[in-house]
Amino acid sequence: MLSGKKKLQLAGGFAVLLCFAAAAGCGGFFVDPTLTSIAITPATFTLQTIGQTQQLTATGTYNDSSTKNISATSTWTSSDSTVATVSGTGLVTAKTSTSGLSATITVTNTSKSGAVSGTATATIGAASTTLTVSSDLGTSISLISDPAGTTFNLTATLNNTDVTSQTVFTTSNSAAISVSGSVGTVGGTQGTATITGTDGTSVGSIVITVGP
């Protein structure tokens, strides 16, 4: 025969187990994280021709520091549908080719904590013929932290499109920075090197300084 005290202990333990199993009726033991902000990627972008598209991604940040792709579960709107429209999953489509026009793309997610929004800007612009060349080591290299033989990647973009694989890179100072394909190598000589990228008729460059 169980004592009264033992019965109370068993009953209490059983109640706790029920709380875990049901996840309800126990003072909100399990609490869903609260959405605090939304970031759109890319935040700014340019479209050149009617019908050109850009896929956006909405990433929600919650009060427990977690993040989640909420593109498909949010509402997307455009401030000017004559400039650009946006689908329910964040696909933006240009509706004009007139340079200088822009539209604000807004994403809104509504939950029990309220509505949270984020924005991006779509701009209509003429197609560029200038490559944007970049280095993942930046434009200033120290031989102390990145000694001779250190390699880094070069990238080239044209009108928001990565064209690295079809770009030819050259260097003005191989003693400071040498180039092979899209890989740069730090030389043992201090100085400035202009890295030029050429993609057909499009050209761009970056100046990299190698110091002590």
Map out the domains of the chain with their CATH numbers. Answer: 35-124 (2.60.40.10), 132-211 (2.60.40.1080)
Q: For the chain, what is the radius of gyration of the CA atoms?
A: 28
Q: What is the pLDDT of residues 58-84, one digit of tens each?
A: 999 999 999 999 999 999 999 999 999
Q: Are 209 and 175 in contact (CB under 8 A)?
A: no
The pLDDT of residue 30 is: 56
Tokens of 167: 């770009």
CA dist 98 and 31 (Å) reads 49
pTM above 0.75, yes or no: no
- Separation CA 74–CA 159 (nearest Å): 28
Beta bridge partners of 171: 195
β-pairing, 102-111 with 57-62? unpaired
Name residue 129's amino acid: T
Q: Strand pairing of 53-55 and 91-94?
A: antiparallel
209 closest CA partner among 130, 137, 132, 133: 137
Helix (H) or strand (E) run with residue 77 in it: strand 75-78
Q: How many CB atoms lie within 10 A of CB 7?
A: 11
Q: What is the pLDDT of residue 4?
A: 53
d(CA 138, CA 130): 19
Q: Which residues in the chain show pLDDT less than 70?
A: 1-30
Q: How far is CA 161 from CA 37, 83, 176, 209, in A?
A: 28, 21, 29, 27
Task: Measure the CA–CA gap between 111 and 31, rounded to whole angstroms.
Answer: 14
Please tell me the distance from the alpha carbon of residue 180 to that of residue 189, in angstroms, as a whole number: 18
Say how far apart CA 86 and CA 108 lie, in whole Å: 13
* pLDDT (0 to 100) of residue 19: 46
